[in-house]
Amino acid sequence: MAVIVGEVIIADFHPLNAVFLTLERFGALLSEGWVLKTLAFAIMVGSVMALIERSGGVNGLVHELSVKRSWVKSKRGALMPSFIAGIVVFIESSITSLVAGAIGRPFCDRHGISRAKLAFVCDSTSAPVCSLIPLNGWGALLLGLIGGQITAGLIAGESATWLVQSIAFNFYAFMALIVTFIAIWYEIDIGPMRHAAIIPPEIECEDAKGDLGLFLWPMVWMIGGVIVLMLITGGGDIFKGSGSTSIFYTLLITLALMWGYYRFKNALTTTEFFASAMAGARTMTPIAMILLFAFAIGGVSSDMEVGQYLASFIGDYLPSAYLAGAIFVLAAIIAFATGTSWGTFSIMLPIAVPLAVGLDAPVALAMGAVISGGVFGDHCSPISDTTIISAMASGCSVQEHTRTQLPYALIAAVFSLILFIGFGIFLS
């Protein structure tokens, strides 16, 4: 709807011209190599995740951390495996929450820790970590959105370089992890968390052991492949490498290696492998469509000079030094209301970048504010998928999880806002 309305305005409200403009825009997008690679990457990530889960790789990780290497001896230690798993399993936020929850439940019940505290740890390490280590669907989305701004001529350089710079300013993700670690280490319960229900331990049964290698090797191939290909495409300089090309070919190579390795380990038959891969790809198809529409919205916003208008409108009231703080708050409100950080990125990045350029404010800081605000709003929203999955994986209600984690999230957000304002003043 946004694309169509924008094209109608660009076409001076001539319906037929608007139709032609819309078709031309999507045709131009689908002829861009980086767009096709980004869409393919988003879909292939779904295949990889489905294969790891179906083969028993996730079960293998859970068994290794929760059974074979059980180092938990205190309340502090009961939550640390989930916190560590939330950082290590950065490839997809839903898997992060599921794995961290599965690992932590028996430990929390045994040591008298509420499931709400576990859900808080799961949620606080899923989206924040995925946004800090974007070798995942988050990276594909952000690289694509930043690439759209480069294509529009608003900024110059490589999308991967801009993404790395913006991650350095992803203050909320850093603060959320710090607050979570402090809450675990010092056993701090504040607000509603003090009254969260504690579930007595159940009779444990032997879980499926799976195979840890089925999880670890695909992670190694993906991480190593991206690093190697970034170096190759950048002529030895990883910051000059092509992010979309590196990620696309890394996923292709990973899927091929997974097929050979899974067949060697008899984890999946060839039929099961391709069926699981297709099922996983289907789950990511809507994300690929959102990406495509987001690219189109970015083009429409650029043609309509939305950023320049907002810059001229806000410039009289908002000094450039405070722009990042304002973007952080606005992105948080949108993400909380919609329950999606990805949707917030798609809406806010095409607006924040032209706004920063127009006000001569630090562009990377504005990008970091969009990412931080999206993660914060998504973290707190009761209709967010990560909020719901974290509560489900931990065994507590969504309402309890939302209430109990909000004070911790607000503390991290306040410190983040102070940092955005402080860096905005310093860099401006």
DSSP string, 166-189: HHHT-HHHHHHHHHHHHHHHTT--
User: What confidence tens digit (pLDDT) does each residue in 132-187 have?
Assistant: 987 766 887 888 889 888 888 888 888 888 999 999 999 999 999 999 999 999 99
pLDDT score of 110: 75
pLDDT score of 123: 94
Please state, as a whole number, how many other Cβ atoms lie within 10 Å of the Cβ of residue 88: 18
Identify the domain containing residue 396 by its residue range. 22-195+208-427
- How many helical (H) and strand (E) elements, i.e. helices and strands, does the chain have? 20, 0
Section 238-267 average pLDDT: 85
Number of domains the chain contains = 1
Section 190-196 average pLDDT: 90
Section 227-234 average pLDDT: 83
- Per the prediction, the chain carries an average pLDDT of 84
Section 346-375 average pLDDT: 91
Section 38-66 average pLDDT: 78
Q: Which of 86-95, 154-163, 173-182, 215-224 has the lowest mean pLDDT?
A: 86-95
Could you tell me if residue 3 is inside a domain? Answer: no
Section 366-394 average pLDDT: 88
Please give the helix or strand (H or E) that residue 154 lies within, else none. none
Percent of the chain with pLDDT over 90: 35
Residue 245 confidence (pLDDT) above 70: yes
pLDDT score of 248: 86
pLDDT score of 2: 84
Band the pLDDT of 412: cuts 50, 70, 90: very high
pLDDT score of 396: 86
Question: Which amino acid is residue 142, in one-letter code?
Answer: L
Alpha-carbon span 107 to 123, nearest angstrom: 17
- Contact present, 167 and 252 (Cβ < 8 Å): no
Could you tell me if residue 12 is inside a domain? Answer: no
pLDDT score of 207: 46
pLDDT score of 88: 83
More confident residue, 167 or 239: 167
Please state, as a whole number, how many other Cβ atoms lie within 10 Å of the Cβ of residue 185: 12
Residue 282 confidence (pLDDT) above 70: yes
Could you tell me if residue 266 is inside a domain? Answer: yes
What secondary structure letter does DSSP report for 194?
G
What secondary structure letter does DSSP report for 201?
P
Could you tell me if residue 181 is inside a domain? Answer: yes
Roughly what angle, to the nearest 10 degrees, separates helices 137-151 and 159-168? 120
Band the pLDDT of 238: cuts 50, 70, 90: low
Question: Which amino acid is residue 407, in one-letter code?
Answer: P
Could you tell me if residue 17 is inside a domain? Answer: no
- Contact present, 306 and 352 (Cβ < 8 Å): no
Could you tell me if residue 11 is inside a domain? Answer: no
pLDDT score of 303: 83
Q: Which token pair is 93? A: 């936020």
Q: Which token pair is 320? A: 């450039």
pLDDT score of 325: 94
DSSP string, 205-219: -PPP---THHHHHHH
The widest CA-to-CA distance across the chain, in whole angstroms, is 70
Phi-psi region of 92 (alpha: psi -120 to 50; beta: other; left: phi over 0): beta
Section 315-339 average pLDDT: 84
Dihedral sign computed on CA atoms, order 40, 42, 45, 49? negative
Q: Which token pair is 256? A: 């091929």
What secondary structure letter does DSSP report for 204?
P
More confident residue, 42 or 369: 369
Section 229-246 average pLDDT: 76
User: What confidence tens digit (pLDDT) does each residue in 107-122 have?
Assistant: 787 778 999 999 999 9
pLDDT score of 204: 44
pLDDT score of 417: 97
pLDDT score of 99: 73
User: What confidence tens digit (pLDDT) does each residue in 361-373 have?
Assistant: 999 999 999 999 9
Exposed, middle or buried: residue 425 (CB in 10 Å: 0-12, 13-18, 19+)? Answer: middle
pLDDT score of 201: 59
pLDDT score of 93: 74
Could you tell me if residue 292 is inside a domain? Answer: yes
Q: Which token pair is 327? A: 């973007």
Could you tell me if residue 72 is inside a domain? Answer: yes
pLDDT score of 14: 93
Phi-psi region of 84 (alpha: psi -120 to 50; beta: other; left: phi over 0): alpha
Dihedral sign computed on CA atoms, order 403, 408, 409, 410? positive
- Contact present, 312 and 359 (Cβ < 8 Å): no
What secondary structure letter does DSSP report for 398?
H
Section 360-387 average pLDDT: 91
pLDDT score of 206: 46
Q: Which token pair is 144? A: 């694509």
Residue 39 confidence (pLDDT) above 90: no
More confident residue, 297 or 202: 297
Residue 409 confidence (pLDDT) above 50: yes
Residue 241 confidence (pLDDT) above 80: no
Alpha-carbon span 241 to 113, nearest angstrom: 46
Band the pLDDT of 313: cuts 50, 70, 90: low
φ/ψ (deg, to 5) at 347? -80, -45
pLDDT score of 280: 87
